Chains A and B, each alone.
Chain A
Amino acid sequence: MTERTNSKSNYSRRHALRLMAIGGAAGLIAPNLLGKPAFAQNPPASPTGRVVVGFSQEPTVFNPLMPHTECDDAVHFSVFDALVRMDPKGVLQPNLVVEVPSQDNGGISEDGLLWRIRLRDDVRWHDGQPFTAEDVKFTLELITNPKFRAWRTAGHSLVRDIKVVSPTELTWRMEEAFAPYLSFLAETFMVPKHILEKEADPNAAAFNQAPVGTGAFKWAQRIAGDHIELVANTDYAGEGPYLERLVFKYIPDMTVLYTQFKSGDIDLVDQAFITADNYAEASTLPDRVVMLERGASVESIYLNLEKPQFKDPAVRQALYAAIDRKAILEGLYYGVHNPTETFMPQNSYYYNPNLPAQEFNIERARQILDEAGWVPGADGIRVKDGVRLSFANSTTSGNHLREQTQQFLQQTFAEIGVEMTISNLPAAVMWGDFWLKSQFESAISGVTNVIAGDPDVTNRLHTKAIVAKGGKGSNTGQYSNPEVDALLDKGTRTFDREERRAIYLRVQEIVRQDLPFLPLFAYANVFGRKEGLAGFEANSNTRVASWHAAGWHWKD
């Protein structure tokens, strides 16, 4: 395929997307119940107004390449740009690049090893300097600089021979084909070479306290322990910004976070959102929009498959059938979250909606165990080949909802002749070696399985990711299935989206059948914002609500 036809097809795809976006916007305006004219939705000509976003954790890390948590992402997404950005549908869109590199457009070679990146030529740093390919090279090399305290290095550590071809083009070679890297680049924000190269110690650079990016908002000030203030970057190369000021306010208590949303002190609730118990009340508040947004995290019972109790698939199937998920979801979790059969986020492009649905059926559970030869002993607990069907379940102590879930499970499991004891630990102990090195028998945990919205779950489900067996990763349940391993290996080498989709749909099928863990529900987050805040869009492929503040504006 030639260059010309590629860019042409790319244009038409973008054109189609744009048409779809217009259709979507019209759809939003049509059911406008307040009767405001459609033009009220239009953003202002110049940035006006201010939005205060509430967080329950304080953003403190402003160098986007250093170790940070969710809340810091909000600052990074607003102040910086990445090469690509993951949209709410889980599709990568150009950010600093002209087009998302793919094998089709020649950005990635057929063997996946050679990458060519073409950049926009109209992007400037907040201090007026032009953004060029040198900055990209500097950023990627800084991440793997052994002196630098970098955040994630997965994928980056495979990059070799970065060559700047022109100010808007660069190439590199990958040590091995690694398709998830494209998604990882969506969370790799570009930092300015001309500022950071002068620093003797990048870990202690002044930049880290007052960042300079290319993003829609510029750094204004930070009042430590209280808030961070950003101002509009009127020279922003992309869409927006429409707000003059953007404030990230730290409110350390979840109850107070909600209270300040109620009182109107904050305009939008970001991480860790409105608590489920306040959802019903929040929905009734005047002038507020409260939405349930699907998250990426899945709550499951993890079974340590190396324990003799869990080696028999019949046990896992019986336990799964003995879980009254509806009662747990509605009785304990305020009906906020969603049932799921898979580890894949429900908003992912790679989510498999066609898996068999779990059914709560005590009779069936008993039958499965009977057929598999698990016979009740004198104490009513089933036994087979000298193995008693009894195990401990652990989670963070003090997490009341999980503790209630455990007690509930304990009762239904007892009805099928299974003994579950509860042995909870403080968070720091629970999620340390006890979890990572598979020292638990069974555990309840909420886990985000995918990284940066990419469907690759090698880290969670591949045999080589079992730390207890000398591997590297977080396969703490010690799941091992050669077919899944092969599919996962293939998935990391496959760049075509549809081919990848087929692979991960199949992985989900096998995992649903094997039941290495028993899914309880997929987390939903309770988002809340003032009714007048327009242009807001949730994106469960990112970790924050404030992933695209550039598009926000106040209605007239």
Chain B
Amino acid sequence: MRGFLLNRLSQSLILLLIVSVIGFVVLNLLPGGPLAQFGLDPGMTQDDLDRLKEQLGLNRPLWMQYLDWAWRLLQGDWGNSFRDGAPVLSVIGRHVFATLLLMGTSTAIAIAIGTWIGIRGATHRYSLFDHLATVGAMVALSIPTFWFGLVGIYIFSLKLGWVPAGNMYTIGDGSVLNYLHHLILPSLVLSLVHVAIWSRYMRTSTLDAISQDFVKTARAKGLSERRVIMKHVVGNALLPMITLAGVQLPSILTGALVTETVFTWPGMGRLFLDSLGYSDYPVVMGLLMFSAILVILGNLIADIAVAIVDPRIRLG
């Protein structure tokens, strides 16, 4: 186990290095840059822009900027946002709760419903339910989430008035009920896609498990179909899902890019889009490293979890 972890750690560090170099280079190759927003400001002279460029250290060669950034990061200094001047970690900290709340809820909904649909679809293969679930999943996967979001707002907020048209809470009202009320629509909209993914994987995985010899054996022993499914099929079918959960774990903290914008949700996804729009290099790099670390952690946890659950797998 220790060998496995050390091995993983060294792999991860190399991965982080590669991600940071590529991220830094691509970010700097994008035209514009942090001062582009002032290009059309009639009061900003070229002298002002040159001065700011120098003050922000953006006139140095790219490799020097990268080494400076990386060296500070190694010392625990993630830098400060170009926009509001706050430390990057505190900027991330201010947005992470909103995302955790939204993505956590929608992922929980998706796992519960998706698993159920997947199992039922597999055990009732080619039934009306299975066909509907298949078509539904295809629709949910083909149509962009933000479109569902806008339609949802139009119907349930503007026409029916059941739920608020976006925002995380009503300003001046911080009650739990208020948060839940605002959470309903965006979390359901976001979970649509995840239900679709989750149910498709679960269906395949369940079908796979049903065709195994041990299921035939269980049936031959005369166990009821319900017992066969619950005790022998589902447990085995869930195994591959742990890996899927590991892959999805980071998104719980990194957020949904477009959906957060449509629902005016002050989360990480929107922070990323905004920071990219303003070429706020320190924040974008910070978010990139944050996501990369989460992806590595998510996979690591999934691998360890699978090893614990499945006695056939040993880490080494």
Contact = CB atoms under 8 A, between A and B. Distances in A.
**Most chain A CB neighbours (cut-off 10 Å) among B84, B86, B98, B262:** B84
Interface stretch (A247-255, A347-355, A359-367, A508-516): A247-255
**Most chain A CB neighbours (cut-off 10 Å) among B32, B43, B52, B267:** B43
Contacts of A203: 55, 85
A339 to B, nearest CB: 22
Interface in B226-267: 261-264, 266-267
**Most chain A CB neighbours (cut-off 10 Å) among B33, B45, B47, B153:** B45
Contact of A225 (B40, B94, B172): B94
A260 interface: yes
A225 B266 contact: yes
B174 to A, nearest CB: 10
A10 interface: no
B165 A154 contact: no
Interface in B43-61: 43-48, 51-52, 55-56
A432 B45 contact: no
A262 B158 contact: yes
A518 B190 CA distance: 48
Nearest to B45: A154
Interface string A183-197: 010010000000000
Contact of A256 (B43, B83, B166, B172): B166
B298 interface: no
B165 A260 contact: yes
Given A208-B85, A224-B95, A249-B171, A263 B43 contact: no
A152 B36 contact: no
A249 B266 CA distance: 11
Interface stretch (A30-38, A159-167, A402-410, A467-475): A467-475
Nearest to A428: B32
B145 to A, nearest CB: 14
B164 interface: yes
B83 A52 contact: no
Contacts of B46: 436, 467, 472-473
Interface residues of B, number: 53
A450 B42 contact: yes
A259 B153 contact: yes
Interface in B149-175: 150, 153, 157-158, 164-168, 171-172
A255 B262 CA distance: 9
B80 interface: yes
Contact of B80 (A204, A249, A426, A472): A204
A449 B32 contact: no
Given A67-B52, A203-B85, A256-B262, A265 B31 contact: no
B42 A432 contact: no
B136 interface: no
A301 to B, nearest CB: 17
Contact of A224 (B91, B153, B262, B263): B91
Nearest to B268: A225
B270 A225 contact: yes
Contact of B274 (A58, A436, A474): A58
Interface residues of A, number: 61
**Most chain B CB neighbours (cut-off 10 Å) among A187, A209, A226:** A226
Nearest to A205: B85
A176 B150 CA distance: 56
Interface in A439-477: 447-452, 459-460, 467, 472-474
Contacts, number: 151
A62 B36 CA distance: 20
Given A253-B261, A263-B157, A472-B45, A432 B171 contact: no
A404 B168 CA distance: 38
A372 interface: no
A14 B39 CA distance: 39
A426 B36 CA distance: 12
A226 B266 contact: yes
Majority secondary structure of chain B interface residues (helix, strand, loop or mixed)? loop
B281 to A, nearest CB: 14
A427 B266 contact: no
A227 interface: yes
B39 A229 contact: no
Contacts of A411: none
B127 interface: no
B271 interface: yes
B74 interface: no
A452 B37 CA distance: 18
A152 B261 contact: no
Contacts of B1: none
A199 to B, nearest CB: 12
Given A60-B84, A204-B85, A227-B171, A69 B37 contact: yes
Interface in B23-79: 30-33, 35-48, 51-52, 55-56
A260 B150 CA distance: 12
A428 B167 CA distance: 30
A152 B44 CA distance: 5
A282 B56 CA distance: 43
A429 B32 CA distance: 7
B84 A209 contact: yes
Interface string A232-248: 00000000000001010
Contact of B42 (A259, A428, A460): A460
Interface in A94-119: none
Contacts of A209: 84-86
Contact of A252 (B83, B157, B165, B274): B274
A223 interface: yes
Nearest to A54: B264
A226 B98 CA distance: 10
A256 B42 contact: no
B39 A436 contact: yes
Contact of A247 (B31, B42, B171): B171
7 contacts: A208-B85, A227-B171, A265-B164, A265-B165, A429-B31, A431-B40, A447-B42
Going nearest first, the 6 A-B pairs with the smallest beta carbon separation are A428-B32, A225-B266, A224-B94, A226-B266, A60-B84, A428-B31
Interface of B: 30-33, 35-48, 51-52, 55-56, 80-81, 83-86, 91, 94-95, 98, 150, 153, 157-158, 164-168, 171-172, 261-264, 266-267, 270-271, 273-274
